[in-house]
Structure 1
Amino acid sequence: MTELEMFVKLPQLDEEYHKTDLGYVPTLSVIDNILVQYVVYWIDMDTHEILRLHFTANTPEEAIKEAYEGCISAHLI
């Protein structure tokens, strides 16, 4: 499975980290400080609030893989 396919399978979550149809959506972003890193996190598109759940790595592919595996471990996928 490609990283894009993994990212598409990441669930939307509510404030209590339960899978939902409406809620916080997974987002991939770059953190451009001294070292460039990539992060997958969940954000509410209306309020722009961010859940504390996030996965950081050196490449976007690694960040997506970590998020996907984390969701599998939490039985969200």
Structure 2
Amino acid sequence: MSEKTMKFTDAAGNKVEYAILEQKLINKTEYVAMAPVNDKSAVEIFKIAFDKNWNETLIQVESENELNMVRQVSSIKF
């Protein structure tokens, strides 16, 4: 089975490819754990949000409480 990936442009304008490691629904909020394909130890957690036109946006989770909540139900270690 092939790995699911997404490509983003960083602040310097470089393309960075992320592997999608896990996606979880917690308290009616969808979270996704991703890491750069060349550094799987650098896991980042994002919330998936939608605007009024159902356009998807990823919002990086920075709250320690929210990160701990995701860690508790995650099958990956980060």
Q: TM-score over 0.5 for the alignment? A: no
Q: Which TM-score applies when normalising by structure 2?
A: 0.32
Bigger relative contact order, structure 1 or 2 (CA pairs below 8 A, ≥6 apart): 1
Higher share of residues assigned helix: 1
Q: Which TM-score applies when normalising by structure 1?
A: 0.32
The structure whose Rg is larger is 2
